[in-house]
């Protein structure tokens, strides 16, 4: 799964203007922007979007609440929040964890406005907290993301009747019980016509047809976005589906330019999981963000419809043999919640970065080796994103940052 500046008010106005231009330029019956609208949108949108994923399960062990988005200063820098994840089952969009989303009662200390939930109020949970956050930040948009690594198995059935799937999603996103919370939908299908946790055999055209149905159903005024793979190898996951053909139907894509390498290769070689560029000794030359963007733009996806993905976490090995990348290992390093992965906010002190390679940082601590982005590498990546004319940045995910938002504040 996505496994991750100027004041927000100005960026929000630019982003809203871009969305309006795109909506006004939709050609009747096609969902494709006119040439004039596309040109104006590219000029207005370049670099403007800052999209952060917020996880539904963060309310449990992580104790990361919507309130933390406000207290960290992140709300002032975000243009959009992707709420992860809704389920895809029975050919329809479905709520993921209803307790976390709509039922959990927040105390005054946990609530964004210091007001505790009551037993008889019509909406509690994270959805209510997101509504309160939007009241504080009227320009902020919230998008409901569906699928992810765990719940992408249902997309194959959804692809058999795209129109029915799209209607079920619109009905859920705009359910009157949480009216005004969501501004659109994000599709995180891992992966169309390829393998993730499960293997999909829908065919290369299925993704384009599903996204076309979503745009037709959601219309020009609601956001339709998607997380897509970053595998730029010939015959890889990008080639498996028609992402260029589907591009006219999305407001933007989030190519998941992280998790290129990790301790699922238990013996190594050690390598940064989110390199911006290739470097001498990289295990796979095409496994880097620059190659992903070049592949997608080469296929015809407009640069301003691509956001650069950044991970607010690191991946690491144990039993390593050297400080530089390319060494051997014996397995995944221990993590707070899962072996081989940990948050930036943990790693910055537990295993401080000692070097950079391919535009991202790495460190050796005892027999462990970790790679992760720092404020310095995030700033460099976003400068590169600006040079490429990309539509902005997105990251997985908010709870990985420090309490004062060190990483999001480095996004330029």
Catalytic pick among 56, 70, 110, 190? 190
- Confirm if 197 and 264 have CB atoms less than 8 A apart: no
Non-local CB neighbours of 263 within 8 Å, separated by 6+ positions = 315, 316, 317, 329, 331, 332, 333, 339, 340
- Kindly state the tokens that stand for 68: 């933390």
Distance CA 118, CA 128 (A): 12
- 3-class DSSP assignment, residue 298: helix
Tokens 């995180």 correspond to what residue? 188
Tokens 């990546």 correspond to what residue? 381
Distance CA 247, CA 225 (A): 10
Non-local CB neighbours of 73 within 8 Å, separated by 6+ positions = 404, 405, 408, 409
Cβ-based burial of 121 (10 A; exposed 0-12, middle 13-18, buried ≥19):
exposed
Beta strand pairing status for 341-343 and 355-357?
Answer: unpaired
- Kindly state the tokens that stand for 49: 């979007």
Residue 190 annotated to the active site: yes
Beta strand pairing status for 184-188 and 360-365?
Answer: unpaired
Work out the angle at residue 257's Cα, subtended by the Cα atoms of residues 248 and 152, and round it to the nearest 5 degrees.
70
Work out the angle at residue 105's Cα, subtended by the Cα atoms of residues 174 and 94, and round it to the nearest 5 degrees.
35
Sign of CA dihedral 94, 99, 103, 105: negative
Query: What dihedral do alpha carbons 109, 112, 117, 121 form, nearest 10°?
Result: 180
Tokens 């929000």 correspond to what residue? 12
- Confirm if 176 and 223 have CB atoms less than 8 A apart: no
- 3-class DSSP assignment, residue 21: helix
Distance CA 264, CA 261 (A): 8
Distance CA 378, CA 299 (A): 27
Which positions are catalytic? 190
């Amino acid at each position: 799964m996505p496994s991750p500046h100027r004041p927000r008010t100005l960026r929000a106005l630019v982003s809203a203007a871009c969305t309006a231009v795109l909506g006004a330029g939709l050609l009747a019956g096609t969902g494709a922007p006119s040439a004039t609208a596309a040109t104006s949108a590219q000029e207005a949108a370049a670099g403007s979007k800052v999209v952060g994923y917020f996880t539904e399960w963060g309310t449990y062990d992580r104790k990361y609440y919507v309130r933390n988005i406000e207290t960290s200063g992140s709300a002032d820098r975000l243009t959009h929040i992707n709420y992860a994840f809704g389920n895809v089952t029975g050919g329809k969009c479905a709520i993921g964890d209803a307790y976390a989303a709509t039922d959990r009662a927040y105390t005054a200390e946990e609530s964004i406005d210091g007001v505790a939930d009551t037993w008889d109020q019509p909406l509690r949970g994270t959805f209510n907290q997101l509504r309160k956050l939007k009241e504080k930040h009227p320009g902020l948009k919230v998008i409901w993301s569906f699928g992810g690594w765990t719940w992408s198995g249902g997309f194959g059935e959804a692809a058999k009747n795209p129109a029915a799937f799209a209607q079920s999603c619109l009905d859920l996103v705009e359910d009157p019980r949480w009216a005004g919370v969501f501004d659109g939908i994000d599709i995180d299908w891992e992966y169309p016509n390829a393998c993730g946790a499960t293997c999909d055999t829908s065919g290369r055209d299925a993704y384009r047809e599903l996204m076309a149905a979503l745009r037709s159903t959601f219309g020009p005024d609601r956001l339709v976005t998607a997380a897509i793979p970053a595998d730029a190898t010939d015959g890889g996951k990008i080639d498996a589906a028609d992402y260029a053909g589907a591009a006219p139907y999305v407001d933007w894509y989030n190519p998941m330019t992280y998790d290129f390498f990790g301790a699922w290769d238990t013996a190594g070689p050690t390598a940064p999981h989110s390199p911006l560029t290739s470097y001498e000794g990289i295990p796979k030359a095409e496994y880097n963000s620059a190659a992903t963007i070049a592949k997608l733009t080469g296929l015809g996806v407009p640069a301003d419809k691509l956001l650069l993905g950044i991970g607010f976490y690191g991946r690491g090995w144990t039993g390593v043999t050297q400080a530089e990348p390319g060494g051997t290992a014996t397995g995944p390093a221990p993590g707070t919640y899962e072996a081989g992965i940990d948050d930036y906010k943990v790693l910055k002190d537990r295993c401080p970065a000692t070097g950079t390679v391919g535009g991202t940082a790495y460190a050796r601590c005892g027999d462990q080796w970790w790679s992760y982005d720092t404020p310095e590498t995030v700033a460099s990546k976003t400068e590169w994103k600006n040079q490429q004319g990309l539509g902005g940045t997105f990251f997985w995910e908010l709870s990985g940052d420090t309490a004062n938002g060190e990483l999001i504040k480095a996004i330029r």
